[in-house]
Chain A
Amino acid sequence: MDKSISQKVLEKIKEEKIAPKPEWRFSVCRIFVLALLGFFLVAGAISLGIIFDLFSQFEIQRLFGRPKGMKLIFLSLPYIWIVLLTFFSFLAVIEFIKTRHGYKYKTSYIILFFLVLVLALGAFLHVLGFCKQLENYMESYIPAYSQIVRTPQNVWFQPENGLLSGVVIMDDEMGCHCLELRDWNREVWKVEYSGALIHPRIKKNNGEIIKIVGSKKAEHRFEAEEIRSWVGKKMQSIEERD
């Protein structure tokens, strides 16, 4: 009489002394998936924190309403961080689905949940100033970083588009309502500011870093419409705290 499948399998188990895989192996796999999920979540949050950080340094709201403002904003977006944010968030969602009970939830709910989580964690890291420190570190120690990412210096140094920034080296020496500014390429600009709105914090002292909205009048000549401190209000409060 033919043996049943159950009998054949039991015989094979006994003859070949097959044993179930130990529980710790499955636990290690599950912990690995959870660790990856945590890593992707934190990496996504850091990416978002850096985006917040860059935006607050750009003072992107100042670019709205300006001629070519939308183009400037579009060109200023930190694409590399946006790509990394999307990539890590996507991987976090995938890892969550791979967890033991991840499949029980609708993908749209999981995506929404992780968006909120990454947003909250990213905002928290931004407020703590962690992302700014990380970004400063990358700018200092990774030479290619400022070429890959549109740093605030890049964004606020587009004279043709009405944005200029740099260090004040001389102010109103001849009573001309103008100052001299050294830009990030060490070129010197004469900036006329008689009709400009000047932020109260601006002292125009030598060595002060400022950013200017206005228009380029000639080679190395610029007319200011608004002069702002290099460090935005939010960033200043973080720097003061640091």
Chain B
Amino acid sequence: MQNKKDIELKSDEELAGLISDNPDFYYILMQRYEEKILRYIRRISNFPRETIEDLGQEIFLKAYENINDFDKSLKFSSWLYRIARNHVISHWRKNKNDKMFLSYDVDENFKNMFEAEENVVKDLENKLTGEFILKVLGGIRSDYREVLMLRFLEDKDYEEIGDILKKPIGTVGTLLSRAKKELKEELLKNNFKANI
């Protein structure tokens, strides 16, 4: 057997090319992305835990079935996130009664996101609660919220965001800049004073 270490050193894209022959390679890829994809689903949907897990399984299965359609000019993660996003949206469309309630667990990434607005936010540590994040992000347009999440919470660059949302890089830049402006306004509305 090929050394386990050698296999684990392979890039996502290299592994994706081997999956057709052996599903065990896919297991390694799933392990790499399981946590990230479940967290991403939770962030964009906030469905109950069981639904998120079901969706996670469906997404990984869908990606496996369509692995031969993987575009090698993309990053595997962008392709997988795109499938995840589309799957969550289509699940939500089919089950419109399952309302998507926004709620957030506080983590370091939110701090990074808010601090990206350099002129806003001083005593952030004290105010950064789930309720506060909900209030601020809930006041932002959903496409802005989505692009902010991908940039700051999922740590994706412009090109990856473009590949996930299927938008040109220029449009991603414009969306992000408008999203940051709206985020700043929301922060100011919620009593964050300018840090000048």
Contacts and interface: CB of A to CB of B under 8 A. Distances in A.
Interface of A: 4-10, 12-14, 18, 20-23, 25-26, 100-101, 103-106
A13 B23 contact: yes
A132 B2 CA distance: 67
A105 B168 contact: yes
Of listed A18, A23, A104, A106, residue having the most chain B CB within 10 A: A104
Given A5-B53, A10-B23, A20-B64, A104 B30 contact: no
A25 B65 CA distance: 12
Contacts, number: 67
B69 A9 contact: no
Contacts of B69: 21, 23, 26
A67 to B, nearest CB: 50
A14 B27 CA distance: 11
Give 5 nearest A-B pairs by CB, closest first.
A6-B30, A103-B166, A23-B68, A26-B69, A9-B60
Contact of B30 (A10, A22, A100): A10
A9 B56 CA distance: 9
A165 to B, nearest CB: 52
Interface residues of B, number: 30
B83 interface: no
A15 to B, nearest CB: 11
Of listed B23, B24, B56, residue having the most chain A CB within 10 A: B23
B61 interface: yes
A106 B31 CA distance: 36
Of listed A4, A5, A25, A100, residue having the most chain B CB within 10 A: A5
Nearest to A97: B166
Contacts of B57: 5, 8-9, 12
A7 B23 CA distance: 11
A20 B65 contact: yes
Contacts of B61: 9, 12-13, 18
B168 A21 contact: no
Contacts of A106: 168, 170-171
Given A8-B57, A10-B30, A13-B26, A104 B162 contact: yes
